[in-house]
Structure formats: C-alpha cells, structure tokens
Structure 1
C-alpha cells in the first residue's frame, strides 16, 4: 500500500467554527476593531515610521480589514500590535470626555439688522461713442 499524501494546509480553508456571539459582544468587537484600524491608519498617515514599521502596519491593517480573516486571528493581531488595546481605548475615551466637558455651547442670538444686497440686472450696452485707445498698428 502506498503512503497517503499529506494535505496542503495552506490551501485548506481556515477552521472557522460557527461560534455564536451575542450582539453586544459583536458590537464591542467592532468598536475595538475600528479603533485599531484607526490607530494604524493615523500612524501611517503621520509618516514618522521607518520602512519596516510601515510594512508591519500595512500587513496588520490588511489583516484587520480582511473579510475572510477569522475573528480569532483578528484578535490575535490586535493584541500583537497594540498590547492591551482595551485599556488604551478606555484611556483615550477618558481624555476625550474631559475635552468634551470643557466645551461650552451657547445660544446664538440672530442679528435683528439684516441687509440684503440685490445684484443689479441692468443690460449694459456700450454706445458707439465709447472711448478707445488709439494704438498705431505699424
């Protein structure tokens, strides 16, 4: 009997077990995913990275934005790229909340004096007695 050929694991579809997650957990994951994507894009946009970091950021971004990558892989990539990204998200929310608290909204009172300027609609037709420059055509 001939030995069996080993399967090519690279061409096999990823093991995507049908794991049902609650809608709240799915929404929380989406928030975390979008935060990580935003952080990577802002890092690339600033242009302060060396070529190796740009390559790593791009690879990570492509993995996170992939529709075929399994959820477990995305979480692993997010953890590798950002460490404890959940606490970083909370810290950023606290900073933004304090900035929002400093903003004051006041009611704007419209001005009682308004001026409307209508554009003139005169048909200006020059007469034959208009001034012309007399240049010599020599």
Structure 2
C-alpha cells in the first residue's frame, strides 16, 4: 500500500524561529467575458491585417514577401482557421503584437492630447461672416474661458 505525502504550504521562517505561512490573498480579477475576448481578438486581427496591408502598400516587397503577406492576410481573415493558428501567425510576424498595439494606441492618444491643447480659436473676419449663413457673435472680453456651473441638484426634465 502506498502512502500519500501531505502537502505542506510554503513556510517562511521568521527571525525568532517561528514559522508563518506566506499565504497572501491573491486579488482575483474576473475573467473577461466571451464578448470582450471576441472583441479583443477582432481588434488584434484587424490591427495585424492593417499592418500587413500597409506594409504591402508603402514598402516594396519582393514577390516572395508579397506572396507571404497575402497568404497571411488570407489566413487571418479566414473563418475556418483555428484561433491558435492565427495567434501563432501573428506572433511570428509581429513578435509581441499586443505591446506594439498598445504603444501605437498610446502614441495616438498623446498626439490627440497635444492637438487638443494646441488648438486655437481664431476670430472670423467681417467679410467671412457676411458670406457665411451662420451667425457669429464675439465672446465678451471678461469671460475668456468657458465655465460650467455644476450644482449638487439632480438633473430632471421639467415637462409639467
């Protein structure tokens, strides 16, 4: 008859010799739903296909490279190709494609923030106002920035 070994939890010896278990509660994150996973996969596939198409348009690939890129696009867009094969292909073509996607997204976000901060409103000349059918009124000099008054009251429609 075989004897079963008892599993002993990892123990860390203290300075005074007592042993305490090092069991820390691991914060359990809820796994993403199937919809979220499918959406993420669709974004990853679209990004990889876009990168391949962009490479075909902007670079001058050799016929062999062009054939490989077209084949990869066809494989990534195929409904019949299994998911692991698609992920393997994306990994072999782009390396850590998720990090590249995130870096590209961060760069675009930074560019948008810069653009919004550097945007300036210019006064329209009198002749342009007369040509346009829109009514333009200059803002009073005392109030240069738009301020929003927030109250602590709950918003309600006052129909009655």
TM category, shorter: 0.5 to 0.7
Residues 43-80 of structure 1, C-alpha deviations (whole Å, 9 max, x = no match): 01114212221111111111001121111211111111
How far 1:114 sits from its partner (Å)? 2.3
Unpaired stretches in structure 1, ≥5 consecutive residues: 1-20, 117-138
Partner of 1:77: 89
Partner of 2:106: 94
CA distance in 1, matches of 2:122, 2:71: 48
Partner secondary structure for residue 42 of structure 1: helix
How far 1:108 sits from its partner (Å)? 6.9
Work out whether 1:44 is the aligned partner of 2:73: no
CA distance in 2, matches of 1:113, 1:36: 50
Q: TM-score, normalised by structure 2?
A: 0.53
Work out whether 1:26 is the aligned partner of 2:38: yes
Partner of 1:135: none
Unpaired stretches in structure 2, ≥5 consecutive residues: 1-32, 134-160
Alignment RMSD: 2.2
Residues 55-114 of structure 1, C-alpha deviations (whole Å, 9 max, x = no match): 111111110011211112111111111111000101111111111111134557674312
Moved more, 49-58 or 105-114: 105-114
Residues 5-49 of structure 1, C-alpha deviations (whole Å, 9 max, x = no match): xxxxxxxxxxxxxxxx71111111111010000000000111421
2:75 is aligned, of 40, 63, 78, to 63
Mark the structure with the bigger radius of gyration: 1
Partner of 1:114: 131
Change (3 A) 1:85 1:115: closer
CA distance in 2, matches of 1:24, 1:108: 43
Q: How many residue pairs get matched?
A: 96
